[in-house]
Chains A and B, each alone.
Chain A
Amino acid sequence: MADRVALEGTLPVGAIDTRASGWWAMIFVVCTEAALFGYLLFSYFYLAVQPHAPGTFPDSGTPSLTLALPNTIILLASSVAVGWAQFNIQRDDNRRLIIGLAVAVALGIVFLVVQYFEWEQKPFTLSSTAYSSLYFVITGFHMMHVVVGVGVLATVLVWSVLGYFNRVRYAPIHIGALYWHFVDAVWLAVFFTFYITPLLGLRA
């Protein structure tokens, strides 16, 4: 530990990069959200290993990857777009910031639309079996997070269009981006659980 305290010298003022309090707050919001998904997936695996009638876990057989896999790629691409926007505002390029955020918002909406069709195709409903309850509640939780994330990105997009940010003042971009990257990363865990583990043999 340093014994001397340096009080002399200049300090940045206000919300600057990752020194903004909001950025720190978002880290711990992401922690608690990650824990929430941890408990959701715990519930899935806990119920998955209980005895089930054949063909009811997953309900109606192993889920198809036809829509889910491209949709996963779409969501990952939106994270890349956000990352590109973050990179560009640090180089004072507001135009590319706006493009990156707009592309990410659009990809987020595409993800939601595809998810809607994925839900439409399911032969079961929320109240059919324990599996169907898990499927709709867990993917539903994730979709709610995507809806909120799209709202967050759209809001910082508006602020970017209003010219609020430059290469020093961009904390809200990084804070919103952190949330969005989390929403994308946690989808990989959800995707793996629902679409891959039955292929690996976790089914009844």
Chain B
Amino acid sequence: MTISDYTRAPSVGTEQPELAARLQKIWETAPGIGGWLSTVDHKEIGLRYIVTAFAFLILGGVEALIFRLQLSWSDRHLLNPEQYDQLFTMHGMTMIFLYAGPVLSGFSNYLWPLLLGSRDMALPRLNALSYWIYLFAGIFLYAAFAIGFGPNDGWFNYVPLAARAYNGGPNIDFYALGMILLGISTTVGAVNFVVTFMRMRAPGMSINRVPILIWGTLTASMANIFAIPAVSLAFFLLWMDRNVGTHFFDTAGGGGSALLWQHLFWMFGHPWVYAIVLPAMGMVSDGLPVFCRRPLVGYSAVALATVATMVLGFGVWVHHMFATGLPNISLSFFSAASIIIAVPSAVGVFAWLATIWTGRPVFTTPFLFFSSFILLFTIGGVSGFMTGSVPVDWQLTDTYFVVAHIHYVLIGINVFPVAGAIYFWFPKFTGRMLDERLGRWNFWTMFVGFNLGFFPMHISGLLGMPRRVYTYAEGMGWDWINLISTIGSFVFAAGVLMLIWNVLKSVRSGAMAGDNPWDAPTLEWATSSPPPPYNFVVIPTVQSRHPLWEDRLEGRPDEARSHPHAGLVLEHGREAIGTDPLDAQPDIILKMPGDSYAPLVFAIAVTAIFIGLLLLAWWLVAVAFVGVAATTIVWLWPERALGETREPANG
């Protein structure tokens, strides 16, 4: 065999109906339950992520509404302390781990290959695996709550309270194992995003031409690759301490340290905060300019600021631990780092403001969500900047001021951009527009409700109200302000319901969208709505950041133009083009795997391992481990059709 047996010169062409019909046959998922369980289509997986994450958003929201009723006035006894502990812990865990991260994975899964001009993610089966494990981890964690043993020590689960001696039930074991399982999902998803970025961009899409959403998710994924092991390890060590008598976090003279938990948790926790906001900021950076009718101001600065935020984000974890009695040198360093991180954050804010200022804003619903995000981010950023200062933090830590801060950050930078992104990309997902009139009601209800609910928490915090108390005594002066927060939270919930109502209504009866209803510049708008299973009939060729705006933006000679509808024809089975990491020059024709049950079986087997660990049923752990190994070998067995064995695979 010579090398030339393994090569081919792909033909170059334009979109043809016969070609589209052939690709449809090659790429479409089989109908019925079998196809549903085995599909590796990134669009299907992305939508499942978004829908599942919204289901968890609703659960977490209802939990919050219940304990807001409890807190609406002093000395109320709707909930007892144990119920309150489970509810607020489930709320935090749900929103942070089961909603905020996965919803962005959903958007990125759906959008990445379309934004990049690719047929799929680099590792489609891994993509399906990541979703299934996420789903099973969510069910695992909620199973605990359903049988009355939900996690109950707060989402950051400090020892020694979370140790066996102080929390004897299975609550924390569920939390620990569920989080490790979820970590597997996040990790394989992150690996997939990074490899997709490196290898799957359309020819010509050099790294200075990718949309900012790509930068956001890439940066978040790199962070997850390095940060997730910290929390998985922390939870594993805690599980060992609780079940087999190790002494990692033992404060009773065994040589362990409670602060080790806090270090491991926050070495993960703080990067994670950025991982669940940077992709959302990326969606704003790509969506907002469309409604300002101009490109984003300062593309390079925003891209670099995204990366810089994440790098600095690995060096600020101790600001969660300022009150634990650490040496001054440590406090000074981490305080300085926490304050410096405001600089790259501000770069984004000024870039978005300048884009609006110098553009011609069109006040649609997505614009309202995206632009209001800038305000909410600034408020959340300033309160974060304040608590980054050690003396201020000593006054405010563990008060409602911090609760206000985290909600301005997470709702302001995650939920508002996500809502805007739904209005913006729903036409691409479904081929139909969301109702614009209802959308405005939706926005203003959420905006007013959110600020009414959470701004007063700054004040209750300054008045000294501690977080995580199940009730408070009369005469503390916190009653009215809590009542306002409770009313605001219900108004906000009504706003979220309007969003869901709009989606349910418009998916059937919304106005038809067409390929590019917003006249947007990036590649996802060059294909039909919803896109076909193969995304693009021919692989686009990209020469700028705005392939669909080149006519209007700059006088380019013909040879320097992007071609959204002409390029490589890859139709010898499931194929995609692999390009090199920097310049995105064609490098290889990749054979893509078809639909497969392996990810589902793998996810079931790996979940069974964690069920075995929960029940201390070692036989189940052993059997499931063998199941994981066998599935892996079958999954990876070299296939001639994928060009993995020595027989030439050329069709």
Contacts and interface: CB of A to CB of B under 8 A. Distances in A.
Interface of A: 1-16, 19, 21-22, 24-25, 28-29, 31-33, 35-36, 38-40, 42-43, 46-47, 50, 52, 56-57, 126-127, 129-134, 137, 151, 155, 159, 163-166, 168-169, 171-172
Given A50-B255, A129-B247, A133-B247, A13 B126 contact: no
A155 B630 CA distance: 11
Contacts of B582: 1
Interface string B523-566: 00000000000000000011100000000000000011000000
A28 B191 contact: yes
B260 A43 contact: yes
A32 B228 contact: yes
A128 B263 CA distance: 23
Given A32-B187, A46-B263, A56-B255, 11 more contacts: A4-B559, A7-B203, A14-B649, A35-B225, A38-B229, A39-B264, A43-B248, A43-B260, A46-B257, A47-B257, A137-B237
Contacts of B591: 13-15
Contacts of B229: 32-33, 35-36, 38-39
Given A151-B629, A172-B644, A11 B589 contact: yes
B6 A1 contact: no
A32 B537 CA distance: 36
28 contacts: A1-B206, A4-B560, A5-B543, A7-B203, A10-B7, A10-B8, A13-B6, A13-B588, A15-B644, A16-B588, A28-B191, A31-B226, A32-B226, A35-B225, A36-B232, A42-B263, A43-B260, A46-B257, A47-B248, A50-B257, A127-B244, A130-B250, A131-B255, A133-B246, A137-B246, A159-B638, A163-B646, A169-B645
A64 B1 CA distance: 53
The 6 closest A-B pairs by CB, nearest first: A14-B643, A130-B255, A127-B245, A133-B246, A36-B229, A5-B204
Interface in B237-267: 237, 240, 244-248, 250, 254-257, 260, 263-264, 267
B122 A21 contact: yes
A138 B152 CA distance: 29
B191 A29 contact: yes
Given A13-B7, A137-B237, A172 B636 contact: yes
Given A5-B541, A133-B240, A164-B645, A25 B195 contact: yes
A163 B1 CA distance: 14
B233 A39 contact: yes
A13 B191 contact: no
Interface of B: 1, 3-4, 6-10, 12, 122-123, 126, 187, 190-192, 194-195, 198-199, 203-204, 206-208, 225-230, 232-233, 237, 240, 244-248, 250, 254-257, 260, 263-264, 267, 541-543, 559-560, 567-568, 578, 582-591, 629, 633, 636-638, 642-646, 648-650
Nearest to A7: B12
Contacts of B7: 10-13
A168 B644 CA distance: 10
Most buried by B among A1, A32, A163: A32
A146 B584 CA distance: 37
A36 B587 CA distance: 33
B514 to A, nearest CB: 28
Nearest to B589: A13
B565 to A, nearest CB: 14
A12 B123 contact: no
Contacts of A33: 229
A19 B250 contact: no
A7 B9 CA distance: 9
A165 B645 CA distance: 6
A67 B543 CA distance: 60
A16 B247 CA distance: 48
B9 A11 contact: yes
Given A31-B226, A137-B240, A12 B588 contact: yes
B233 A16 contact: no
Contacts of A2: 206, 583, 585
Contacts of B199: 21, 24
A19 B643 CA distance: 12
Contacts of A22: 123, 636
B586 A6 contact: yes
B255 A7 contact: no
A35 B226 CA distance: 6
Nearest to B541: A5
B115 to A, nearest CB: 18
Contacts of A127: 244-247
Most buried by A among B250, B589, B646: B646
A166 B1 contact: yes
A22 to B, nearest CB: 8
Nearest to A169: B646
Contacts of A9: 9
A23 to B, nearest CB: 9
Contacts of A132: 247
B502 to A, nearest CB: 38
B646 A14 contact: no
Nearest to B587: A19
A10 B650 CA distance: 12
Nearest to B225: A32
B349 to A, nearest CB: 28
Nearest to B192: A25
B391 to A, nearest CB: 27
A43 B648 CA distance: 50
Contacts of A129: 247, 254-255
Contacts of A168: 1, 3, 6, 646
Nearest to B7: A10
A202 to B, nearest CB: 14
B642 A15 contact: yes
A21 B187 CA distance: 16
B225 A31 contact: yes
Nearest to A92: B1
Contacts of A42: 263-264
Most buried by A among B1, B10, B247, B586: B247
Contacts of A130: 247-248, 250, 254-256
A46 B260 contact: yes
B77 to A, nearest CB: 42
A58 B544 CA distance: 60
Contacts of B560: 3-4
A19 B10 CA distance: 17
A169 B6 contact: yes
A43 B233 CA distance: 10
A155 B568 CA distance: 36
Nearest to A165: B646
B260 A47 contact: yes
A139 B625 CA distance: 20
A65 B426 CA distance: 63
